[in-house]
Structure 1
Amino acid sequence: MYAVVQVRGVVKTNHEIKDTLKMLRLHHVNHCVLVPDTPAYLGMIRKVKDFVAYGEVDKDTLATLLRTRGRLTGDEKLTDEYVRAHTPYADIDEFAAALCDGEMSFRDLVEIKPVLRLHPPRKGYKTIKRTFQQGGALGYYGPQINDLLYKMR
């Protein structure tokens, strides 16, 4: 499962990029979505790679994000009680593990919002005009996306 975070805004960009970000449900900077590892999603991510940071998220980071930034409809916080009542899992940690393994998805639970509205990273981005491999904040992070997500929790 990939975590995709929008890093740059879309003013004066191609409409295809804007449409792809809209299909990924990324409407604002510092918003994060979780997408499965499928060729269709990877193609969309590659198309917007100059505007997002993405990589493979692990279970612990996902559990932390769901505890701090997970929301239900009505802007209610995601709690262990809700997960226990509406899923076969006992708490958010087990639910996050199931999400990472592909056993569950956000679409299985209607009331969970699929977008995580994150805080800007503590200590800021390095630069939003270069890729991660060049010392910036854009593109493919790999497993190091967990460090960025932890700074944005």
Structure 2
Amino acid sequence: MSSKVKTEKENVAKVSKKVKKEPAPEETVCVIRIRGAHGMNRKILNTLHLMNLYSVNSCTLLRTDASTRGMLQKAKDYIAYGTVSEESLKKLLAKRALLRGSKPLTDEHIRFSTVYKSIGDLAKALHEGKIRLKEVKDLKPVFRLHPPIGGFKGSIKKPIAAGGVLGNIGDKINVYLKKMI
């Protein structure tokens, strides 16, 4: 019985010695669904639905916390994601953001439903993480995009490291958004 107590104490000591990593800073990430659902694992499909990505060439904005990073890692073979710039975010909101009833997002609606005065102010606040998309009344959390003009540079079946377009593509997401808006 005493050996059992010792092993429990040793396990507690081992756990307490582990160095805790500091969490990565939160940033606004744009996620674009690149591939379809045929033959996809149901767990991955459910993860995509949690991110509001129901169809190909749809896009959403997320803040990266621990759970979001886990979802991005799980669905990395079907999506492209990266840190979005404020300028691309402003264009995305101006041209592709829709309200309920498929009405376009306007400065008037932003003034009425938030403390911000224009689409540019809202884009800046979203980029800095002061507000989330769901806090804007009647705004749909997903943006439907066109297929990219000129196509993707690389295969849509391979990760970025193997010459494809899937996974964490970093700042290239702004190039893809420009082609798809």
Common fold by TM > 0.5: yes
Identical columns (%)? 39
Name stretches of at least 5 consecutive residues in structure 2 with no aligned partner.
1-27
1:58-73 to 2 correspondences below 5 Å:
58-73=85-100
The structure number with the bigger radius of gyration is 2
Q: Deviations over 1:126-147 (max 9, x none)?
A: 3101112322111111122111
Letter in 1 for 2:176: L
- Work out the CA distance in 2 between the residues paired with 1:38 and 1:58: 18
Q: How far did residue 118 of structure 1 move?
A: 0.6
Q: Which residue of 2 aligns with 1:9?
A: 36
- Work out the CA distance in 1 between the residues paired with 2:39 and 2:83: 29
- Work out the CA distance in 2 between the residues paired with 1:121 and 1:38: 29
- Work out the CA distance in 2 between the residues paired with 1:58 and 1:65: 11
TM-score if structure 2 supplies the norm length? 0.82
Among 155, 160, 163, the residue aligned to 1:127: 155
Q: Deviations over 1:46-101 (max 9, x none)?
A: 00000000000111100000111000000000011111222111110110000011
Q: Which residue of 2 aligns with 1:145?
A: 173
| SS of the residue 2:165 aligns to | coil
Q: How far did residue 37 of structure 1 move?
A: 1.2
Q: How far did residue 21 of structure 1 move?
A: 0.7
| SS of the residue 1:119 aligns to | coil
Name stretches of at least 5 consecutive residues in structure 1 with no aligned partner.
none
> Quick one: higher RCO (CA 8 Å, sep 6+), 1 or 2?
1
- The answer as to 2:73 corresponding to 1:46 is yes
Letter in 1 for 2:179: K
Among 82, 102, 109, the residue aligned to 1:82: 109
Once superposed, what is the RMSD of the aligned Cα atoms? 0.9
